[in-house]
Chain A
């Protein structure tokens, strides 16, 4: 009878994941940048050199490097650096909250649809298909417009936009897992559907779902900024990157470098989310 090698404890999936992640410099750099942005947003009150809402008619549209306005001032004489730091709060919130909401709702619906199959699957998936008929930007604008402007409504609108793709991903993953022998074996052991989903289905579908969701953060930030730009999201005078981009747009010929700063933040954050998401996907892959 052959016996296995001498090592008793195998490294396990968590440590394997950590090891691969630590070897991936791009992903680590992106995660570090995101962490800095997040920390800056959280501790905005301590970090921002000035009040982001304090206007100054005399010091409007100052260039980058002006003493007291290190990243310039906007069309109402507010400190752009402070507004960028505070704006990160809103933008990150708008980037993550809808995705997390959609992950919970869409993931649950998708896993249930995939595991149950049959008419339950049909009912859930056909309903989701209705939402697929609309382009996501149009759908977000339409829902926001119908609900009225404001941050809460923008979050609701974005959540609705992100649910259908997450349901699809979760359903596909759960359908694949459902047909595998270990799920059959679990059913053959007399376990109920909830237990099987918790122990056998979720751990095997969570990876692809979470990775896909992490790719949506950047989309959410951009869409949220877009809604704010259109006046449907965060309302002035609140600091938010999309809204700042909108208000500074008229100053693009006067202070182009200041005007592109909020856009640069949106760009940097979303590309970091995307690269980090790719890195997580690669590190999470199950080696067999």
Chain B
């Protein structure tokens, strides 16, 4: 890395066919406090054997209820939390082996939900924006020039914003700054962890459009985490549904929204509010809270809330079955070999 110059672009290694990010068996079990000295150590299985891939240039939407492990997965990918198990491969390079953490964090950046908490209240916007480039060896003057450029890219006027403090800006402006900060290291993958969830609807739409715009301009790949299905439907190419630390369904966004396969995905989609007054929902699609990840249900974790649960769901964990090209689901219903009474075969 040049000492005073700007950061070089990250070279593409494996070509377009190689996934930008490949995750295999990622797990994190948090030890639970409060267990007695002689009791068995208990753990919360926040993320339990999650595998997926993100292709170059796509947007992977990640949805699920709060506590399903979406944000933990994001923090594990950034290695803000150490995973207990699992392998992360970034463009063919294994993280921790051929790809160091520092370099990983340059190629992969993250935008957090809380736009205010994400900015140091004691630093001006300029100082917040140049922090990361300076850490990576860019000279201050160049980093400042880059900061101005990025602010313009996210639709803010650098001459107004640079000298200000976070509390003087609106939530939408702050989130634009957080996006600019994430882009300052020229990453290839940006993880957006509920990045628009805390914004007003009108501002949310602006920032979403900005994200779409930036993706095209900087040739980015997104991992878009949200609990808002409509937003994911709008922005994602593929969608991954998580439940209690597991991936239950992954598929192209249109196919998944049109014909959800997993009972949980169906329930999530049914719980969406309709804008059509004729299609009011009165029935509750999904009752209660997810079970405690400390002692997750045996077999399929969704079976306690699933209307179609059978004995096999308690006995065995469902295998992940590809029901259509690029569309896979972890449910006994879709596995003809599972022994579930309503199991059906797919072509």
Offer 18 A-B interface pairs, CB within 8 angstroms, sorted by A.
A1-B206, A2-B172, A2-B173, A3-B160, A10-B124, A10-B164, A181-B117, A182-B128, A185-B118, A186-B132, A188-B80, A190-B102, A190-B132, A192-B135, A195-B135, A203-B122, A204-B120, A286-B122
Residue of A nearest to B105 (CB): A190
Q: Which of B19-27, B107-115, B250-258, B288-296 is the contact stretch?
A: B107-115
- For the complex, give the distance between the alpha carbons of A195 and B75 in Å: 21
Residue of A nearest to B172 (CB): A2
* Given A4-B164, A189-B105, A287-B167, also A182-B80 (CB < 8 A): no
CB within 8 A of A184: which of B112, B136, B169, B206? Answer: B112
- For the complex, give the distance between the alpha carbons of A8 and B167 in Å: 15
Residues of chain B having any CB pair with chain A under 8 Å: 75, 78, 80, 101-103, 105-106, 109-110, 112-114, 116-124, 128, 131-132, 135-136, 155-157, 159-161, 163-165, 167-170, 172-173, 178, 181, 185, 206
Residue of A nearest to B170 (CB): A2
Contact A188 B120 (CB under 8 A): no
Q: Among the interface residues A10, A12, A190, A195, which one has the most CB atoms of the partner chain B within 10 A? A: A190
> B-facing mask of A8-37, CB < 8 A → 1, else 0?
111011000000000000000000000000
In the assembled complex, A200 has its CB within 8 A of some CB on chain B: yes
- For the complex, give the distance between the alpha carbons of A195 and B128 in Å: 13
Residue of B nearest to A199 (CB): B131
- For the complex, give the distance between the alpha carbons of A103 and B273 in Å: 56
CB within 8 A of A9: which of B75, B101, B163? Answer: B163
CB of B59 to closest CB in A, whole Å: 20
CB within 8 A of A181: which of B112, B123, B156, B165? Answer: B112
CB of B144 to closest CB in A, whole Å: 15
CB-defined contacts of A152 to chain B, threshold 8 Å:
none
| 8 Å CB interface, A157-195 against B | 180-182, 184-192, 195
CB-defined contacts of B167 to chain A, threshold 8 Å:
286-288
* Given A181-B114, A188-B110, A190-B102, also A13-B165 (CB < 8 A): yes
CB-defined contacts of A204 to chain B, threshold 8 Å:
120-122
